[in-house]
Structure 1
Amino acid sequence: MPDLKWDDVKVLFDPEVNGVLPDVVVERTTVEDWQLLLDLVREQGWQYAYSVDGEPTELTSAAAMAEATHPGETPELRVWPINDMLLIFRMYQVESIDFDVDPSELQGQERLDVLMDVFRLIGRRLGKSVLLSAEGDLGHPYLGFDVDADRTVLLVDPNDPRM
């Protein structure tokens, strides 16, 4: 049984309400955490593409990603855990793992379950919580994987009119 039910959270994935690309973050990370993420992507067999400043390049290591991080140049890792579901990881800084998801690709219980499985895998591998919020509003997460509870959790009331 899923931790979150689509009918309870679908308003959170409505681009008309919450922006085009919800933001996801793992805070207080290191190069080692980024490497764990890269290893996880490869181990899961997820399709991926890597680029720096829009130029495709070979993905070697998180340390190389960190070296490529300069003002105006952001390493970007595009990951497809399943067909038609894209996660875009951007290394703005080593100290957080930031990525976007497209809400149009997350419609329905099956897609929500896949996303929550990805959160769970990342959170368990890194030993850190993975939090999703509206685009540009990282201070107010909606839901995510709570590492202490070892499950995905809803952090807001989707029916609250202040949403």
Structure 2
Amino acid sequence: MADLLWDDVKCFLDPDLVGSLPDLRVPEATVEDWQAVLDLVVEKGWRHQYSEGETVLPMPRAEAVLARPTDAACPELRVRPTAEMLAIFRFHAADEIDFDVDLRELQGQERLDVLCGFLGEIGRRLGKPVLMDPEGDHGHPGLGFDVGADRVVILAAPQVG
């Protein structure tokens, strides 16, 4: 059974309402949580590419990435859990795992199920919520993985366009 039904949440995944690149995050993260996500990517065999600026590099340890000087180019990890979905992780801070997905890739029930599965994998591995805020609207999640419910749930009233 699906975590969510498309008709119930399509407003939260409408690029015109929430932006095409919503902000996904795991708050109150640690370096160990970041490493657990990197390990998960490798264990699941998800296609991925790590880069610093324009330079593609092998996947590093989280503590090495997060210890980089603040004026260095922000490292980026591009992950494809499926061919249809790209998640881009940015290593801004150790205390919050930050990534984006492109909502234009995630239209319809089948793609929603892929997103929910991906958020669930991360949330279960960390034992923490994974929240999705509208683009640029940090702190106001509409959807997210709820650890207690063990699934992705609606966290806010639906938006209307």
TM-score grouping bracket, smaller chain normalisation = over 0.9
Single out whichever of 52-61 and 78-87 deviates more from structure 2: 52-61
SS of structure 2 residue aligned to 1:91 = strand
Q: TM-score, normalised by structure 2?
A: 0.94
Question: Conserved in 1, the CA contact under 8 Å of 2:12 and 2:143?
Answer: no
Query: What residue is the counterpart of 1:82 in the other structure?
Result: 82
CA distance in 1 between counterparts of 2:110 and 2:2 reads: 10
Query: What residue is the counterpart of 1:9 in the other structure?
Result: 9
In structure 1, list runs of 5 or more residues that go unmatched: none
| Structure 1 position 72, deviation (Å) | 4.9
Question: Conserved in 1, the CA contact under 8 Å of 2:130 and 2:146?
Answer: yes
Question: 1:54-95, CA deviations, whole angstroms, 9 ceiling, x for partnerless residues?
Answer: 321111211121123523521110000000310000010011
CA distance in 1 between counterparts of 2:69 and 2:103 reads: 27
Q: TM-score, normalised by structure 1?
A: 0.93
In structure 2, list runs of 5 or more residues that go unmatched: none
SS of structure 1 residue aligned to 2:25 = strand
Please tell me the root mean square deviation across aligned C-alpha atoms, in Å. Answer: 1.4
CA distance in 2 between counterparts of 1:157 and 1:49 reads: 36
Query: What residue is the counterpart of 1:147 in the other structure?
Result: 147
Identity %: 53
Tell me whether 1:123 sits opposite 2:123 in the alignment.
Answer: yes
Question: Conserved in 2, the CA contact under 8 Å of 1:69 and 1:93?
Answer: no
Query: What residue is the counterpart of 2:39 in the other structure?
Result: 39
